[in-house]
């Protein structure tokens, strides 16, 4: 164990630079490290000055940290069911001296409304588990399995709770996989979250998309804009200019 600025760094943990506001994040490669999907979601989200934000399934707090760096949100909360991940997120918040802006809560997404109260946020974000299949999981209780598979919450849990947590006219933002797109759109409508924007993310211009970014509005009118696609690489190992811009390089 070690300490940095009075923040405990545990065995196997590392501190990574987020390239925004000199913010850093504590991660454990043996558990789960954030990926490009979280960064792209933070670049897709639109937040007005003074809004209240909740990130469902925040992991080690990457999305609240990035959104605090990029926006004028007045309060950001992250909800995480895994105590070790929530603890890492809290220590990252402390490491960046953001305790007055960001709060990390340990709890279940299925109980989010009882934890925070209905209609208590302007924006809800989520980078939820993508996979429904449980077969082939050698250790379903592992942090990586919980982050990637719908073991502790379902897509419907995320969307239904997200809708109830939002004030009328509030916005829900999510990153997911294109193969779940029909399920996503059906559930959004079912829970009165009207899809408003969608952007497909392609690893290369000549490949199929592997991510989808979606914005929905609670109680919004029926009209969705499909934005121009986002291409990640212009050649192997070289990001496109748009990706460099999102990362802040």
Q: Say if CB 18 and CB 98 are below 8 A apart.
A: no
Domain-embedded: residue 112? yes
Share of the chain above pLDDT 90, in %: 76
Domain-embedded: residue 247? no
166-212 confidence digits (pLDDT tens): 999 999 999 999 999 999 999 999 999 999 999 999 999 999 999 99
pLDDT score at 146: 41
Question: CATH no. for residue 184?
Answer: 3.40.50.150
pLDDT score at 1: 59
pLDDT score at 8: 85
Instruction: Dump the DSSP string for 124-172.
Output: EEE----B---TT-S-TTSHHHHHHBSSS--HHHHHHHHHHHEEEEEEE
Number of structural domains in the chain: 1
Domain-embedded: residue 231? no
Torsion-angle region of residue 100: left (phi > 0), alpha (psi -120 to 50) or beta?
Answer: alpha
Q: Which residues of the chain have pLDDT under 50?
A: 135, 137-139, 144-147, 149-150
Domain-embedded: residue 241? no
Q: Which of 241, 168, 176, 165 is nearest to 215 (CA)?
A: 176
Domain-embedded: residue 243? no
Q: Say if CB 160 and CB 191 are below 8 A apart.
A: yes
pLDDT score at 2: 58
Give the domain range for residue 26. 2-197+210-225
Domain-embedded: residue 233? no
Q: What is the DSSP letter of 59?
A: T
Whole-prediction pTM value?
Answer: 0.90
């Amino acid at each position: 164990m070690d300490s940095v600025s009075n923040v405990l760094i545990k065995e196997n943990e590392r501190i990574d630079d987020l390239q925004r506001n000199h913010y850093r994040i504590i991660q454990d490669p043996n558990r789960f490290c954030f990926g490009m999907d979280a960064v792209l979601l933070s670049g897709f989200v639109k937040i007005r000055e003074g809004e209240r934000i909740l990130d469902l399934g925040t992991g080690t707090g990457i999305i609240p940290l990035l959104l605090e760096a990029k926006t004028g949100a007045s309060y950001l909360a992250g909800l995480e069911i895994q105590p070790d991940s929530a603890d890492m997120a809290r220590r990252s918040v402390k490491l960046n001296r953001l305790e007055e802006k960001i709060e990390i809560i340990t709890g279940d997404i299925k109980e989010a409304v009882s934890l925070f109260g209905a209609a208590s946020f302007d924006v809800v974000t989520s980078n939820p588990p993508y996979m429904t299949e449980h077969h082939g999981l050698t250790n379903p209780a592992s942090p990586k399995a919980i982050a990637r598979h719908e073991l502790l919450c379902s897509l419907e849990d995320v969307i239904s709770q997200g809708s109830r947590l939002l004030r009328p006219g509030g916005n829900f933002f999510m990153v997911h996989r294109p193969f779940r797109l029909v399920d996503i759109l059906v559930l959004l409508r079912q829970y009165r979250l009207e899809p408003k924007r969608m952007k497909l993310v392609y690893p290369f211009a000549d490949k199929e998309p592997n991510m989808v970014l979606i914005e929905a509005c609670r109680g919004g009118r029926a009209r969705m804009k499909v934005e121009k696609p986002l291409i990640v690489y212009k050649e192997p190992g070289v990001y496109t200019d748009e990706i460099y811009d999102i990362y802040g390089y």
